[in-house]
Each structure stands twice: as structure tokens, then as C-alpha cells.
Structure 1
Amino acid sequence: MNISIPPDFAPSPWFVSPLKRAQETARLLGIHEYSTEPALIEMDWGEWEGEQLAVLRKRLGDSMREMESRGLDLLPPNGESPRQVRERVIQWLGSQAFVARHYGIVAHKGVIRAMLSAALDWDMRDDCPVRVNWKQALLFRWNCGVLTLEDYNIPLDAT
């Protein structure tokens, strides 16, 4: 079974992370024309890149729990915090002269979580206020410098 973007969003201009896996996802969704946007690159996990959370928790113990309690300010060694990702994406959104009604973004979970933190005023110290199905789409609105979550868990069309 193939999936595609719902027709309401198909004509949108698209922006995609420069990482190969996001570009492959875009193509799998039937998005073949897009702009690569560096601001949408996944969070830099620094020394934790490729690590599993359960392994980090076991290895780092109380230190990891303390770091996780920082929420938006969790900062992996030599990496970037969710707050820094959020600021990067918000700065990019603010720099755009959007003229079309809808734009599409294909990004990574860390970027989407950062966008959710801005849209929901979520400090990431607890679970996300909405339960996101990561195999479905989210709809954000950018208006006058404010990001809001309009809808989430939007089914992708099966073809």
C-alpha cells in the first residue's frame, strides 16, 4: 500500500529537511518538487547521536533523569537543545514571505516536537498535551509570528 498527501494539501509548496531520510519520505508521499531547507534538519543529538533512550537512561542513571527534567533545555553533550531547534524553526518561519495559503514541511520528529512545543506552549517536561500518531500529518498555522496547532493525526491517503 502506498500513501500520499491528502488532496487539500497536494498543491502546496513543500520544504524538506536536507537529510536523505526526509527527502525519501517526501518522495514516498508523492512530493517530487520541493525546496531543501536547512532549518528543518533534525535536532543535533551530539554525543548521543544514534543512541537509544533506554540505553542512555541505564548508562547515565540519575544524571539522565536530571537532564530530561530540563525539558526544552535538555542539552546533549556537543549537541543542541529542543529550545534551540524551536528557535531555529521559528526564526525560519518568520523570515519567509509566505504568499500561498498552504505550505508543506517534511521534517524529523525532533523538529516536529519543537514545533509542537511552540504551538502548544509545552515546556517538554511532561508528555505532549496531544497524542500524536507519527504516521499521520499535523496541520500548523503561522500567523503574525505565532505558531498554532490547527489539527493533528490527519490520515494520509492510501493508494
Structure 2
Amino acid sequence: MASYRGYMSPEYASEGLYSTKSDVFSFGVLVLEIVSGKRNRGFNNPDHELNLLGHAWTLFIEDRSSEFIDAAMGNTCNLSEVLRSINLGLLCVQRFPEDRPNMQFVVLMLSSEGALPQPKEPCFFTDRNMMEANSTSSTQPYITMLEAR
């Protein structure tokens, strides 16, 4: 499975389009890397071929997110806050930009204790499948379109 070049949003990696939510995607990857103690790029698990985002999602939907937490954190962390961070990270790495929160809402979610929305499946497809998914998505809020010279 593709790791989307580390922190790159899928819309940028597959089509070269930068959206207003690309920074949110990158932030979400970073949050998941910090919690897990692993990098998205080059992540591997002997049980599956998913990248870090797919691994986080699988554990989340199986209600096993505590297994995603870096063992080095041990008992030194507040488990509910770390689980909330995983949920937030998954909200930030959702497939389509319109499904991701904006950074203002991310900050609000970080500073509050209310229930977080349920994330949708994040982007952890092969490049071919991601390009197909992007071509069927609704209109996205792009601010620039980069083209090769």
C-alpha cells in the first residue's frame, strides 16, 4: 500500500492539487506518528501490508486503539487523551478534504473534552485506487493547481 510520501495529502500526491485541507492531513499524519512512535513512510507490520494510517484505522474500528500507542509511553500518559489524539489524527487524514476538519476546529477539539466525531476511513489505498477515488469525489476547495513546466 502506498504511504503517500509521508505527509502529503492524497489529492496532492495523486493529482498535484493543493487544497485548503492539505495542512490538516499532514498534521494528522504527524499526530499518529507521535502517538505510535513510528513513521508513516516505510511502516510495515508482519500481520498486513497497510501503512501507518491503515494500521491506526484498523485498530480504531476494532476498538483496539490502545495497541497503537508507543510502548515507550508506558504508563506515563493519560490513556483517554492519547486515544482522543488517535481519533483526532484519523479525522485529519480522511480521504477527501471536505471530510477533514479545518485547523481552527482541530485546535478546538484539542482544547476541549467533548465527544469527537467518528472518522471515516482514511486514505490508505494504492495510487491507482486513490486516483479513481479522487476522480469521483465532489468539488473540493483547491486554492492552487500546480503544473509541470
The reply to whether TM is greater than 0.5 is no
Higher strand share: 1
Work out which structure has the larger RCO, using CA pairs closer than 8 Å and 6 or more positions apart in sequence.
2
Judging by fraction of residues, say which structure has more helix. 2
Q: Under a length normalisation based on structure 1, what TM-score does the superposition of the two structures give?
A: 0.31
